[in-house]
Amino acid sequence: MKVVLDRFYGGKRKALTMSYDDGVRQDIRLISIFNKYGIKGTFNLNSGNMNKESGWNLKGVEISRLSREEVGELYKDHEIAAHSLTHPHLESLSKEELIYEIMEDRKNLEEISGYPVRGFAYPFGTYNQEVINALAGMGIEYARTVETTGGFKIPEKLLALASTCHHNDKLLEKGREFLSLNRGGNLNLMYVWGHSYEFDVDNNWEVIEEFCSEVSNDEDVWYATNMEIVDYLKALKGLKFSADRSIVYNPSALSLWFTADNEVVRIDGGHTLRL
């Protein structure tokens, strides 16, 4: 029996996820585009900056953060992840300050979202090993950097996660490359990051609209939030196979898919299967 862990949710071979930072007013428009095309994203919020005073001006565009009331249900079809309480350079903080910045943000965002917040994006994209270790100890399971790979491999370092590309980096070409990929035996992930206010500053909302339109409704793509993908991959790695690979047990609560002798197999949570 040849077993390959090469399938996402639903037996699909590819996953697409988006990651947007800072909780700004332009998220409203971005979410309406994502929802129109069935694209899923993660929004990294600074719960200590949800006020008028936290706005700024970039190249003549007024950028304002959403208030707590405005955040309300806005992100309900997507993931809310942490981005620290007030957006400092984390590596310059004392240990106590670092813990406060992460845990207070988690608490506030969990009150808004109603679920444990386990995702993170580094403010300014900066971090060091000490920050990584601290995040791991505070229940953060993945943390996005601003580094990019241009590729579609599954990121190895979840707490120093590099994405495929920023949305201003040949997004449409990358999307077409992703759709035409045929890397059998591999999981493929397209991971895009950015700030929704950049579409106003760069006056290029048509890029994200066209991208979402082109990549939507592909039967081999799973559209998921960052956390859904991380949870799925962890559960997939947690499958228990017998020594001769003829029996498999899924100790997780998620339905999982993989390939056994070139056949796609589905195993539901808590089940044991003879292959």
How many residues sit in the footprint of Zn ion (CB under 5 A)? 3
Q: Least separation, in Å, of the C-beta of 251 and Zn ion?
A: 37
CB atoms within 10 A of CB 245: 13
The one segment of 6-14, 21-29, 153-161, 235-243 that binds Zn ion by CB under 5 A: 21-29
Q: Does 21 bind Zn ion (CB under 5 A)?
A: yes
Q: Does 22 bind Zn ion (CB under 5 A)?
A: yes
Q: Does 27 bind Zn ion (CB under 5 A)?
A: no
Contact 239, 258 (CB under 8 A): yes
By C-beta, is 21 or 101 nearer to Zn ion? 21
Instruction: List phi, psi (to 5°) of 248.
Output: -130, 140
Q: Least separation, in Å, of the C-beta of 206 and Zn ion?
A: 24
Site map for Zn ion, 122-151, x if CB under 5 A? -x----------------------------
By C-beta, is 14 or 87 nearer to Zn ion? 87
By C-beta, is 193 or 258 nearer to Zn ion? 193
Q: Least separation, in Å, of the C-beta of 198 and Zn ion?
A: 12
Site map for Zn ion, 254-273, x if CB under 5 A? --------------------
Contact 30, 208 (CB under 8 A): yes
> Which DSSP symbol is given to 251?
-
Cα(158)–Cα(11) distance, integer angstroms = 23
Q: Does 198 bind Zn ion (CB under 5 A)?
A: no
The one segment of 72-80, 92-100, 115-123, 227-235 that binds Zn ion by CB under 5 A: 115-123
Q: Least separation, in Å, of the C-beta of 25 and Zn ion?
A: 15
Cα(107)–Cα(237) distance, integer angstroms = 29
By C-beta, is 80 or 233 nearer to Zn ion? 80
Angle, in degrees to the nearest 10, between helices 27-37 and 205-215: 20
AA identity, residue 16: L
Angle at 50 between CA 117 and CA 97, to 5 degrees: 65
Instruction: List phi, psi (to 5°) of 30.
Output: -65, -45
The one segment of 18-26, 139-147, 199-207, 214-222 that binds Zn ion by CB under 5 A: 18-26
Cα(38)–Cα(217) distance, integer angstroms = 8
Retrieve residue 79's tokens. 């993931």
Contact 108, 73 (CB under 8 A): no
By C-beta, is 6 or 22 nearer to Zn ion? 22
By C-beta, is 46 or 252 nearer to Zn ion? 46
Cα radius of gyration (the chain): 19
Binding site residues, Zn ion, CB under 5 A? 21-22, 123
